[in-house]
Amino acid sequence: MDRTRCEGYGFCEEKAPTLLRLDSDDELEILSEEVGDDQQDRARLAVRSCPVAALRLEE
């Protein structure tokens, strides 16, 4: 994640709430560094939903 790009829109959190969340200051928290097979699709959706391309998924 590129924290300098993140603007706190929260679209990623909507797509993958078990992996990401915005804290009370609208700072993105990564809840899990490891993405299980069952969460891969949600993680990809979260990355694609970011309007400022602050996220990436390393495979």
What does the pLDDT look like over 3-26, one tens digit per residue?
889 999 999 999 999 999 999 988
Section 32-47 average pLDDT: 91
- What percentage of the chain reaches a pLDDT higher than 70? 100
| pTM score, whole prediction | 0.84
How far out from the chain centre does Cα 1 lie? 8
pLDDT of res. 34: 87
Longest dimension (CA), the chain: 30
Delineate the domains of the chain, giving CATH numbers in brackets.
Answer: 1-59 (3.30.70.20)
Q: The tokens of 25 are what?
A: 């200051």
User: φ and ψ at 35, to 5 degrees?
Assistant: -110, 115
Average model confidence (pLDDT) across the chain: 91
Do the beta carbons of residue 15 and residue 49 sit within 8 Å? yes
Minimal CA–CA distance to 5: which of 25, 38, 23, 28?
28
